[in-house]
Amino acid sequence: MRFFATPGNHDPNRPFDLPGGEEDFLGAGGKTQRIFSFGAKECKGYQGKTAVIATGAELPTICSQEMVSSGYQHIMKMMAPFGINPQPADIYWETPYSTYDQQHYSYGKAQQASDFRQRQYEICAQGTGGKYKKPGYGPCFTVADSSYLVEPVSGLWLMAVDANVYLPTKNADPTKLTEASNFEGSGDAGYNKMLTHKQQTVAWMTDVARRAKAQNKTLITFSHFPMVEFDNGAAGDLENIFGKGKFQLARAPQEDTSHSPHLWNQAVLGARDYYDFTNWHITELTRLRFIPEEWPCEIRQMLFSLNGAEMLTLSQLNSPLAYQEVLTTPQDAHAICAKGTTPAQRDISGLYLKKDTAVWREAENRADAMARSAGMTLEEFAGWNGFDLAVDFYRLRNADELALRDISVSRLREYRLLTLTLAKSLPAGMPEVTADSPFDMIFRLRFGSIFSVIDKYLKGSPSRNFHLDTKTGEIHAI
């Protein structure tokens, strides 16, 4: 068995070596340990490869070059056995910059073409350099591209695309050609920037596809970034709910692009198996990272206060109670909205029963009747809460159909009923939401969109048992 790899946006972080490290390693006695490489944080002004610097923290900082975020040259050397460089057994191997063809191929020529110095291209702040460079472009730099094509067995072509695009920053210093700080990270670039700043690689990809078809080769292409929208058409909904820049939407390919030619604790140590660990991991990631960093404050408060029965009841409610009468008014400066803060659970039902009893009871009865007519009970809906919903949201977003083993059929039926019910109340546009807006209206607006996204995740292409037609590209469930 052979493994083939291509870099992602964390390997490398920048085209050239970048001072790095972390401030939250687990140190002696369970204390926080800071470790950085030379040039990062307090690790400066010392001689030698390592240093220990007292900062007044629980433990002194350790400085070590082991924490450097290596650039392309080191990473490509480490990844050489995994396709980055040719192997004697390969039938064929090339890069976007090699000059031979199949008829004149030899392992020796491929070795020369795999040399780091032979795999460079020019990138400018405005676009691709080299023969694509336009007047006024600059500053420009030369960086590496690890893309390659390999034929490991007869008839199979693997095209590994290095889709990292590191844009020169506005204040890039052209006199410091290998300075990592001259570049932005590639995390939000994706294929949208491939079309404008890595045109030579896109042209090569097109040519490889043409040759593969002409020679009846089975071509499999892979890269770290997706070439098509990856949220089953829910990208617009996600932006409306969570705002721009969340959920890695910046790297989602635009329409014209798609169609162009760390966590440790006892739970880890006590996990029965890898599945048990990953199940814990997605739950903790949702609680500690995803919700605090990606979900708007008013939705976060709702998630930790509502259960499924209350959600169905709210879908039938028509009460004048304003948001600020039910939950803390979301303000960026308020402590409840700070990242890393878990909002206190509020008794939503109890509040409505105190302030608007008759209206809440009426909505609750309608919700109960609706659940029973669908073969369910309101008590079953009360068996899960908003946090459970958020965990399932991320399960589906990251694993698609493979997440269904972790979400019960009954839960999915309950989600479906809420999706259909809330969809009827979603307005055509996005109305202005204020602290004086009715709480139930804000709930229907926010959660209607959330359930709509979940529904789209559930209706994507098959990803568990499927057949891929390599000739037509069609995917069918089996």
CA 229 to CA 252: how far, in whole Å? 6
Q: How confident is the model over 272-285, as pLDDT tens digits?
A: 665 776 788 888 88
CA 212 to CA 156: how far, in whole Å? 9
Does 142 share its domain with 278? no
Does 105 share its domain with 30? no
Examine residue 468 and state whether it is found in any structural domain, yes or no.
Answer: no
Domain membership of residue 393 as a residue range: 266-458
Lowest mean pLDDT among 102-106, 278-282, 379-383, 405-409: 278-282
Contacts of 58 (CB under 8 A, 6+ apart): 27, 31, 32
pLDDT for 265: 44
Question: Can you read off the two tokens belonging to residue 58?
Answer: 């629980």
Between CA 475 and CA 477, with CA 476 as vertex, the angle to 5 degrees is 130
Does 40 share its domain with 101? no
CA 209 to CA 261: how far, in whole Å? 10
Helices then strands (H, E): number in the chain?
18, 12
Per-residue pLDDT band for 316 (boundaries 50, 70, 90) equals very high
Of the chain, the end-to-end C-alpha distance in Å amounts to 26
Examine residue 380 and state whether it is found in any structural domain, yes or no.
Answer: yes
- Number of structural domains in the chain: 3
pLDDT for 244: 64
Q: How confident is the model over 355-394, as pLDDT tens digits?
A: 999 999 999 999 999 999 999 999 999 999 999 999 999 9
State the CB neighbour count (10 A cutoff) for residue 436: 10
Examine residue 58 and state whether it is found in any structural domain, yes or no.
Answer: yes
Does 418 share its domain with 308? yes
Does 168 share its domain with 210? yes
Does 174 share its domain with 299? no
Does 192 share its domain with 94? yes
Examine residue 322 and state whether it is found in any structural domain, yes or no.
Answer: yes
Does 377 share its domain with 444? yes
Examine residue 219 and state whether it is found in any structural domain, yes or no.
Answer: yes
477 by DSSP, 3-state: which?
strand
CB 116 within 8 A of CB 71: no
- Does the structure show a pLDDT above 50 at 258? no
Per-residue pLDDT band for 10 (boundaries 50, 70, 90) equals confident
Does 160 share its domain with 290? no
Among 8, 42, 67, the domain boundary falls at 67
Does 334 share its domain with 402? yes
Examine residue 259 and state whether it is found in any structural domain, yes or no.
Answer: no
CB 167 within 8 A of CB 189: yes
Examine residue 51 and state whether it is found in any structural domain, yes or no.
Answer: yes
- Does the structure show a pLDDT above 80 at 328? no
Q: How confident is the model over 385-401, as pLDDT tens digits?
A: 999 999 999 999 888 88
- 218-222/156-160 β-pairing: parallel
CA 24 to CA 33: how far, in whole Å? 6
CB 378 within 8 A of CB 314: no
Examine residue 247 and state whether it is found in any structural domain, yes or no.
Answer: no
